[in-house]
A and B are shown apart, each in its own frame.
Chain A
Amino acid sequence: MENQLLHGKMAEYTAKVEKALAKNPERHNLEHNRLYTPLDIEELDYERDLGFPGSYPYTRGVQPTMYRGRFWTMRQYAGFATAEESNKRYRYLLEQGQTGLSCAFDLPTQIGYDSDDAISEGEVGKVGVAIDSLADMEILFDGIDLGKVSTSMTINAPAAVLLAMYIAVAEKQGVSADKLKGTIQNDILKEYAARGTYIFPPKPSMRLITNIFEYCSKHVPQWNTISISGYHIREAGSSAAQEIAFTIADGIAYVDAAIKAGLDVDDFAGRLSFFWNAHNNVLEEVAKFRASRRVWAKVMKERFGAKNPKSWMLRVHTQTAGSMLTAQQPENNIVRVALQTAAAVLGGTQSLHTNSKDEALALPTEDAVRIALRTQQIVAYESGLADVVDPLAGSYYIEALTSQIEKECWEYIQKIDDMGGAVAAIEKGYIQREIQESAYKWQLEVESKKRIIVGVNQFQIDEKPPEGLLRVDASVGEMQKRKLSALRAKRDNAVLQEKLKALETAAREESTNLMPPILEAVQAYGTLGEICGVLRSVFGEYQAHVSL
């Protein structure tokens, strides 16, 4: 009844708008409706669609009080050069009030090669820290109590090996595995689709992942065994809805694989975590976060029949959008990051990395990282955004957009299900093509100025090249090579050969969990390249689907 009246009023408003448009046309690049009213959320049912914070379907957040007790974890992704250098940066960040660590590894480490491998030339220590063996890992966490800090490691294809190294370092510190807190990214599907640091083909990769789920559920129960990542899918160019849709489709594939491997869904699902991008369009991002929690809760409860509420919750780490940083007028990036931070907080993230202003140019300097961390602290302590739980709920626009993104997400999930799931969709190149299309569309919009990027295609100035960028010394590669040859001379190679042989045997036996033999090889100071080499020899390597 009330809404019928409103329909009439809406018609009046539309007529008024038509007149106004004749005089003052609107900008032509606007994606959403002009105005949202109760008419846009007529279908919304508070208890069914929103519920209360900390309750199904978690649209309003996964904890009952959200940031009123504890803020999100402020976690800056860092790592470069050697373990010694990165250890210094970690200690600096902890001194500055950061509450968790996040390790960036260099590309050879991420792809399972030692620093002295020919293929590593030029890449050692560049985009992250070089870790060749347990010896490097001991240095990386020197003086940092692994029983107290929580550590996130951006490592995927060789995640089992790096996790084993972390467990081994903790053991040396006297901290048992059941006390360890942290996350490994361990999300191979988005590596095939968007990020590129894959090693093995999908089948053995999925086995390694489920082996980790199983091992951690017994021995490292507080560890987040995977961070199912939309971040890189978005960075590769996807839309907001595609980001969560493809990622949740990946999540479904992991849960399916683990159940197929004989695990009970409630034994591992509570340790699954997600990773979202905080992009430029603040309110769209808020709606995306809310929609993603609702979709995942339904997937876990209805599709997989999970019983434990912990299995229904989508807990998420967030990073501000690296691809939205501009090399032009880099100071402007501070403002972009502040807005993206607001989006992540209003969206209800559990932890956050804020990018530094200089990252379109190089790895960030210490000063730039401090500003990025201060941005989070300002939003937390000064802005009031963290004081009320899910403060945008009930906004006609936010609720309509949340439902719309959810709908788009289900449509993609259906399409991917029809193809046989995320693995099949990736092998067909479907997800890659969807992302590429969106990326190219974005670029054309920027070039035609349909989309304005301040300082890039409008409001440009003549600039001097920036000074004081961080540079990784080329000698890092040489230093790692020297450390490796010393290690190979010093360790008990006979024992190591036995451990590697045992790993090979285990790899050939599909029902064997690979975590224990990997841990033993790590403890015998086998290098990452040696351990991944054994697995490569058994599993082979992934051949990417190249399409334009």
Chain B
Amino acid sequence: MEKRIRVLVAKPGLDGHDRGAKVVARALRDAGFEVIYTGLRQTPEQIAEAALEEDVNVVALSLLSGAHNTLFPKVVELLKEREMQHVLIVGGGVIPDSDIPGLKQAGVAEIFTPGTPTAAIVEFIKVHVTQ
């Protein structure tokens, strides 16, 4: 049997809006992934540790507060430090288009902005994940 894709859905920073994170988590679960949701207010260190402990294939970050340019790259860096560069990192939230190239350069594979169908996120993960 094929191993199921494991996804950590995480809320870095102080943002309390997790409607999107929870909806995405549910959709990923319905698509057959194993999903772990961190809950609110996770530091980048806590997220990297959880990713390591849970041995996930994907880290999906959600942030609506505008702190993405600080916090997303930090998660990428900390995962690298833990030799988890194979983990697919995606992000979502209220993120201006002009910030997306910088985030991708920092190692976030894709950014999903408001209005994205959850099916598009599922598809992206299936295509790009390495197991």
Min CB distance, B70 to chain A, in Å?
3
Contact A107-B118, Cβ < 8 Å, known A122-B67, A443-B27, A544-B39? no
Contact yes or no, A323 B19, CB < 8 A: yes
Within A437-454, the residues touching B (CB, 8 Å) are 439-440, 443, 446-447, 453
Binds B, one of A137-145, A213-221, A464-472: A464-472
CB distance from A498 to the nearest CB of B (A): 31
Instruction: Name which of A158-166, A191-199, A413-421 contacts chain B.
Output: A191-199
Cβ of A544 to closest chain B Cβ, rounded Å? 5
Interface residue? B104 (CB, 8 A): no
A440 touching B13 by the CB < 8 A rule? no
Asked if B14 and A108 make an inter-chain contact with CB atoms under 8 angstroms apart, the answer reads yes
Closest to A456 in B: B115
| Contact call B66/A126, Cβ cutoff below 8 A | yes
CA distance A237 to B24 in the complex (A): 13
Which residues of B sit under 8 angstroms from A328, Cβ to Cβ? 115
Instruction: Assess the A360–B94 pair: CB atoms within 8 A.
Output: yes
Task: Fill in one digit per residue for A73-117: 1 if any B CB lies within 8 Å of its CB, else 0.
Answer: 000000000000000000000000000000000011011010000
Residue B4, interface by CB 8 Å: no
Q: Please report the C-alpha to C-alpha distance between residue A328 and residue B117 in the assembled complex, in whole angstroms.
A: 13
CB-CB under 8 A from B113, the residues of chain A are 327
Q: Which residues of B contact A548 (CB under 8 A)?
A: 22, 25-26, 29, 35, 37
Cα A236 to Cα B15 with chains together (Å): 13
> Complex formed: what's the CA distance from A119 to B27 in Å?
30
Q: Are A439 and B19 neighbours in the complex by a CB distance under 8 Å? A: yes
> Is A469's CB under 8 angstroms from B17's CB?
no
**Which among A110, A127, A326, A471 has the greatest number of chain B C-beta atoms within 10 A?**
A127
Which of B14, B18, B19, B115 interacts with A107 by CB under 8 Å? B14
Is B71 positioned at the interface, with any CB of A under 8 Å from its CB?
Answer: yes
Question: How distant is the Cα of A107 from the Cα of B40 in the complex, in angstroms?
Answer: 13
Residues in B with CB closer than 8 Å to A127 are: 15, 65-66
Q: Is the CB of A436 within 8 A of B16?
A: no
Contact, CB under 8 Å: A122 / B35: no
Binary per-residue interface labels of chain B (101-113) against chain A in the complex, 1 for a CB within 8 Å, 0 otherwise: 0000000000001
Q: 13 A-B residue contacts at CB 8 Å?
A: A122-B13, A123-B66, A196-B16, A327-B115, A360-B114, A446-B117, A447-B117, A453-B115, A456-B115, A469-B96, A544-B39, A548-B25, A548-B29
Question: Which residue numbers of B lie inside 8 Å of A, CB to CB?
Answer: 13-19, 22-23, 25-27, 29, 35, 37-41, 43, 65-67, 69-71, 94, 96-98, 113-115, 117-119
The list of the 6 closest CB pairs from A to B, nearest first, reads: A196-B16, A122-B70, A122-B67, A465-B97, A107-B14, A546-B39
Q: A323-B19, A443-B118 are in contact. List 19 more A-B contacts (CB 8 A).
A: A107-B15, A107-B16, A121-B67, A121-B70, A127-B65, A191-B16, A195-B17, A363-B66, A439-B22, A440-B22, A440-B23, A447-B117, A456-B115, A465-B97, A474-B70, A544-B40, A546-B37, A546-B38, A548-B29
